[in-house]
């Protein structure tokens, strides 16, 4: 049995096995399944990525909140006898920032910014403004 | 009695050697110059992670990182670290991650060299370049002046006594030192030489070298000053002894406004709009080159700032000898301590370190302004096709020489308030941050919204600047609901609101532009766009 091509999902579709899917030609159920499954997989992985992004940006917001350390504002304790606790805390914030950004580049590094070796080697990039 | 030769000329010789070394490094970079505009202005996008880290860090850390940090800590205590350093550690890397990578990617794809090119294209407006041009140049020039003037002051202070007859002054701290105008001239000429011949590659190499120099010398100065002031056997004992004499208000933040501390968080956002950083970002070989700078930047800030802040609060301790008296200018605290507590060798080396911090920012700014003038004004209106690649390099060089000459001449006039302008320059750039962020992440940002944001920034900035006695009132704050806030907070919020409201009420950008800036560059599985026909 053949059915009419489904209405394209709103937004971006990442994957399609057959050029037929775009051509407007009818798809059989098997083809339709093959078309839908990877889309769902991609949708799920996109959802996961969104969650990761959300968590990362929450962590950044949290670090900015911790940066406002009202709790050590008037504390004159000298850690190891020479390091004011407020200074030590903020040095810790700097280290935490490095750790956080390390996690960010591991977890939510943008996928769509890098160019392939071929594109870079061909020198096709950046020609537009030079013309 | 005549002082020994090394005591009289030690600092001067080391500073001279350092400047020569830097000149040699910059000139050797010019041997790799390929003769093209892209190579001269962007080092042919060849800068890898390490050089990118060093050049970004060197550019963002001005003289203020060494001299200002200790001076401000002497004045306001350890709170300075949280206000200026740890906040920058978070926000600068945030800007590299959110703005830098994306701009690199778009710049690489569409061949941008300057910020103005990007905004003209994204906002579909040629005139936005004419509006942004004076703002960007106007905000960078005071920043340049601070560097040029500071270099002259550092050289004069550190070489004091070298020529007691020739350069006699009324102030014993500077008498006999190489005069300001000469020190600034020497610095300008060295920077000009390596930027002129080496272009962006020379700048990146020199920045990397200078960043290493000022980081190492900062730590060395910390160790030597602690040892001399403490006089004990181990470093830990010295540190304990020196810190024990520091007044309580310097090891806490009891004198600091919490709301000002909080709103200061907006100031480091200026990094997202610095035109010279935009140009540095574009030199990256790949997006992955950004990974190291993003992670290491906060750690590098910590390595430079913690020792300097500690030296600053030690200057307030009772262990500091009463004679000679501490300088009244807080920015002179570090050079003063180095001069009085160490020998000519370390004094000269530390002076070189301070100059390194100054010059590593000056070079990028000179190059950037020269690029903006030649690229966005002359070449843009005269016609790129009418100028050969070689002519464009020559044009950029001519403008760089002109910018250095103008800045130097301006620095010769009395500049009483120029140091107070620093935070205003940063506030101006930070208030334009919503514009660059929205242009990358908000499809609905329109040309009218961008104009509204820029004009609102100019208007609010000007009013607040006027109310602060043109930067003369260093403690100026805007009172909101009884809380003291930094002026940047007001300017930022007004600029943001104007941009959003006007964008929503005006015509959105064309589909063609949106496709150019918001379509994904490569889909994860090489997929197809089905959302629209």
Total domains in the fold of chain A: 1
pLDDT tens digits along A101-116? 999 999 999 887 877 7
CB-based contact B42:B282 (threshold 8 Å):
yes
Total domains in the fold of chain B: 2
pLDDT tens digits along B9-23? 778 888 889 889 888
**Could you tell me if B227 and B277 lie in one domain?**
yes
Determine, yes or no, domain membership for B403.
yes
Closest-CA distance of chain B to residue A28, Å: 19
Where is pLDDT greater, at B207 or A1?
B207
**Could you tell me if B183 and B331 lie in one domain?**
yes
**Could you tell me if B304 and B328 lie in one domain?**
yes
Q: How far apart are the C-alpha atoms of B332 and B328, rounded to whole Å?
A: 8
The number of C-beta contacts closer than 8 angstroms across A and B is 195
Which residue out of B39, B45, B72, B86 would a mutagenesis test of the A interface target, given it has the greatest number of A Cβ atoms within 10 Å? B86
Determine, yes or no, domain membership for A93.
yes
**Could you tell me if B294 and B436 lie in one domain?**
no
Q: How far apart are the C-alpha atoms of B11 and B343, rounded to whole Å?
A: 9
Determine, yes or no, domain membership for B71.
yes
Exposure pattern of B104-118 as b/e (b: 16+ CB <10 Å)? bbbbbbbbbbbbbbb
Exposure pattern of B11-31 as b/e (b: 16+ CB <10 Å)? bbbbbbebbeebbebbeebbe
Task: Search chain A and give the residue with CA nearest B261.
Answer: A68
Task: Search chain B and give the residue with CA nearest A68.
Answer: B262
A18 has a pLDDT exceeding 50: no
A39 has a pLDDT exceeding 70: no
pLDDT for res B472: 80
**Six-digit token string for B248:** 């309580």
Determine, yes or no, domain membership for A92.
yes
Closest-CA distance of chain B to residue A90, Å: 6
Interface contact flag, B287 A113, Cβ < 8 Å: yes
Q: Is B315 helix (H, G, I), strand (E, B) or coil?
A: coil
Closest-CA distance of chain A to residue B518, Å: 10
**Could you tell me if B405 and B469 lie in one domain?**
no
**Could you tell me if B436 and B289 lie in one domain?**
no
Determine, yes or no, domain membership for A34.
no
Q: For residue A105, give its domain range.
A: 69-131
Closest-CA distance of chain B to residue A33, Å: 17
Q: Which residues, in sequence order, are CB contacts of A44 under 8 Å at separation 6+? A: none
Interface contact flag, A13 B291, Cβ < 8 Å: no
Determine, yes or no, domain membership for A35.
no
| Chain A residues 42-101 with a CB less than 8 Å from chain B | 42, 60, 63-64, 67-70, 73-76, 78, 80-84, 86-87, 90-91, 93-95, 97-98, 100-101
Q: Which of A73, A90, A102 sits opposite B86 (nearest CB)?
A: A90
pLDDT for res B417: 58
Q: How far apart are the C-alpha atoms of B155 and B446, rounded to whole Å?
A: 49
Q: Concatenate the DSSP letters of all residues of B5-32 into one string.
A: HHHHHHHHHHHHHHHHHHHHHHHHHGGG
Which residue out of A82, A112, A128 would a mutagenesis test of the B interface target, given it has the greatest number of B Cβ atoms within 10 Å? A82
Task: Search chain A and give the residue with CA nearest B286.
Answer: A114
Task: Search chain A and give the residue with CA nearest B389.
Answer: A130
pLDDT for res A114: 77
Nearest to B479 by CA among B317, B311, B284, B263: B263
Give contacts of B94 with chain A, Cβ < 8 Å: 60
pLDDT for res B171: 75
Give contacts of B264 with chain A, Cβ < 8 Å: none
Q: Which of A13, A68, A104 sits opposite B530 (nearest CB)?
A: A13
Interface contact flag, A82 B299, Cβ < 8 Å: no
**Could you tell me if B427 and B492 lie in one domain?**
yes
pLDDT for res A130: 46
**Could you tell me if B469 and B395 lie in one domain?**
no
Determine, yes or no, domain membership for B87.
yes
Q: Is B414 helix (H, G, I), strand (E, B) or coil?
A: coil
Q: For residue B493, give its domain range.
A: 421-518
Interface contact flag, B523 A115, Cβ < 8 Å: no
Determine, yes or no, domain membership for A1.
no
Determine, yes or no, domain membership for A46.
no
A27 backbone dihedrals φ, ψ, rounded to 5°: -110, 145
| Chain A residues 20-39 with a CB less than 8 Å from chain B | 21-22, 38
Nearest to B450 by CA among B376, B508, B380: B508
Determine, yes or no, domain membership for B462.
yes
CB-based contact B74:B333 (threshold 8 Å):
yes
Q: Which helix (H) or strand (E) holds B102?
A: helix B101-110
Query: Band of the pLDDT at A127, cuts 50, 70, 90?
Result: low
Determine, yes or no, domain membership for A9.
no
Instruction: Look at residues B410, B445, B472 and tell me which one is the last residue of a structural domain.
Output: B410
Determine, yes or no, domain membership for B531.
no
pLDDT for res A25: 53
Give contacts of B104 with chain A, Cβ < 8 Å: 113
Query: Band of the pLDDT at A38, cuts 50, 70, 90?
Result: low
Determine, yes or no, domain membership for B206.
yes
Say if A12 is an interface residue toward chain B (CB within 8 Å): yes
The predicted complex's ipTM stands at 0.88
Query: Band of the pLDDT at A21, cuts 50, 70, 90?
Result: very low
A19 has a pLDDT exceeding 50: no
Query: Band of the pLDDT at A31, cuts 50, 70, 90?
Result: low
**Could you tell me if B252 and B329 lie in one domain?**
yes
Determine, yes or no, domain membership for B513.
yes
Give the 3-state DSSP-derived string for chain A, with helices as H, strands as E and coil as C: CEECCCCCCCCCCCCCCCCHHHHCCCEEHHHHHHHHHHHHHHHHHHHHHHHHHHHHHHHHHHHHHHHCCHHHCCCCCEECCCEEHHHHHHHHHHHHHHHHHHHHHHHCCCCCCCCCHHHHHHCCCCHHHHC
Q: How far apart are the C-alpha atoms of B275 and B112, rounded to whole Å?
A: 12
pLDDT for res B386: 84
**Could you tell me if B487 and B365 lie in one domain?**
no
**Six-digit token string for B263:** 């709103």
HSE-up of residue A117 (Cα within 13 Å, Cβ side): 0
pLDDT tens digits along A58-88? 999 999 999 999 999 999 899 999 999 999 9
pLDDT tens digits along B114-156? 999 999 999 999 999 999 999 998 888 888 888 888 888 888 8
Read off the CATH number of the domain in which B208 is found: 1.20.1730.10
Instruction: Look at residues B352, B380, B410 and tell me which one is the last residue of a structural domain.
Output: B410
Give contacts of B297 with chain A, Cβ < 8 Å: 98
Nearest to B135 by CA among B382, B414, B360, B427: B427
Determine, yes or no, domain membership for A2.
no
Determine, yes or no, domain membership for B502.
yes
**Could you tell me if B396 and B494 lie in one domain?**
no
Q: How far apart are the C-alpha atoms of B136 and B368, rounded to whole Å?
A: 10
Nearest to B120 by CA among B376, B310, B341: B376
With a cut of 50, which residues of chain B have pLDDT below it?
A: 521-533
Q: How far apart are the C-alpha atoms of B392 and B394, rounded to whole Å?
A: 5
Q: Concatenate the DSSP letters of all residues of B159-200 into one string.
A: TTTSSTTTT--S-TTTTTSPPHHHHHHHHHHHHHHHHHHHHH
**Could you tell me if B263 and B323 lie in one domain?**
yes
């Amino acid at each position: 049995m053949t059915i009419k091509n489904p209405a394209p999902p709103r937004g971006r579709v990442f994957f399609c096995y057959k050029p037929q899917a775009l051509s407007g030609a009818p798809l059989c159920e098997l083809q339709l399944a093959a078309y839908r499954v990877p889309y769902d997989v991609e949708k799920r992985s996109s959802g996961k990525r969104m969650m990761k992004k959300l968590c990362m940006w929450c962590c950044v917001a949290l670090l900015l909140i911790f940066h406002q350390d009202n709790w050590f504002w008037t504390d004159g304790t000298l850690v190891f006898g020479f390091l004011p606790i407020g200074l030590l805390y903020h040095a810790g914030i700097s280290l935490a920032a490095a750790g956080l950004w390390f996690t960010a580049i591991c977890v939510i590094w943008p996928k769509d910014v890098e160019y392939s070796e071929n594109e870079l080697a061909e020198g096709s990039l950046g020609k537009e403004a030079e013309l | 009695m005549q002082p020994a030769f090394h005591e009289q000329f030690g600092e001067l010789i080391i500073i001279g050697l350092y400047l020569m070394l830097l000149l040699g490094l910059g000139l050797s970079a010019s041997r790799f110059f390929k003769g093209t505009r892209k190579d001269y202005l962007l080092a042919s996008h060849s800068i890898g992670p390490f050089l990118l880290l060093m050049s970004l860090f060197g550019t963002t850390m001005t003289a203020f990182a060494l001299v200002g940090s200790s001076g401000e800590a002497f004045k306001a205590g350890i709170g300075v670290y949280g206000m200026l350093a740890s906040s920058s550690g978070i926000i600068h890397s945030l800007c590299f991650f959110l703005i830098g990578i994306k701009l690199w990617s778009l710049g690489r794809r569409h061949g941008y060299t300057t910020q103005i090119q990007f905004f003209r294209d994204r906002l579909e407006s040629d005139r936005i370049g004419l509006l942004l041009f004076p703002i960007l140049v106007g905000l960078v020039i005071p920043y340049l002046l601070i560097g040029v003037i500071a270099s002259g002051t550092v050289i004069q202070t550190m070489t004091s006594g070298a020529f007691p007859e020739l350069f006699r002054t009324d102030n014993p701290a500077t008498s006999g030192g190489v005069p300001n105008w000469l020190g600034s001239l020497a610095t300008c000429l060295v920077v000009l030489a390596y930027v002129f011949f080496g272009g962006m590659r020379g700048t990146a190499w020199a920045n990397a070298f200078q960043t290493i120099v000022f980081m190492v010398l900062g730590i060395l100065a910390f160790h030597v000053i602690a040892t001399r002031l403490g006089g004990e056997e181990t470093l830990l004992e010295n540190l304990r002894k020196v810190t024990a004499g520091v007044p309580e208000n310097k090891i806490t933040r009891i004198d600091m406004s919490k709301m000002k501390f909080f709103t200061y968080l907006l100031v480091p956002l200026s990094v997202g709009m610095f035109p010279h950083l935009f140009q540095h970002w574009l030199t990256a070989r790949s997006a992955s080159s950004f990974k190291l700078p993003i992670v290491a930047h906060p750690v590098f800030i910590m390595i430079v700032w913690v020792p300097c802040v500690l030296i600053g609060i030690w200057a307030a301790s009772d262990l500091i000898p009463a004679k000679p008296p501490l300088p009244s200018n807080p920015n002179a605290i570090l050079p003063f301590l180095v001069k009085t507590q160490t020998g000519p060798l370390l004094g000269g080396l530390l002076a070189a370190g301070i100059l390194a911090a100054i010059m590593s920012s000056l070079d990028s700014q000179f190059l950037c302004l020269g690029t903006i003038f030649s690229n966005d004004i002359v070449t843009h209106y005269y016609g790129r096709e009418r100028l050969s690649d070689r002519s464009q390099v020559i044009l950029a060089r001519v403008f760089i020489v002109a910018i250095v000459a103008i800045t130097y001449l301006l620095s010769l006039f009395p500049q009483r308030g120029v140091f107070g302008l620093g935070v205003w320059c940063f506030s101006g750039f930070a208030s334009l941050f919503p514009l660059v962020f929205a242009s990358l992440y908000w499809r609905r940002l329109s040309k009218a919204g961008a104009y509204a944001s820029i004009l609102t920034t100019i208007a609010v900035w000007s009013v607040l600047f006027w109310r602060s006695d043109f930067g003369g009132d260093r403690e100026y704050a805007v009172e909101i609901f009884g809380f003291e806030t930094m002026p940047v907070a007001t300017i930022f919020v007004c600029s943001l609101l104007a941009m959003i409201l006007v964008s929503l009420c005006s015509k959105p950008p064309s589909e063609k532009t949106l496709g150019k800036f918001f379509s994904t560059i490569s889909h994860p599985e090489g997929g197809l766009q089905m959302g629209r026909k």
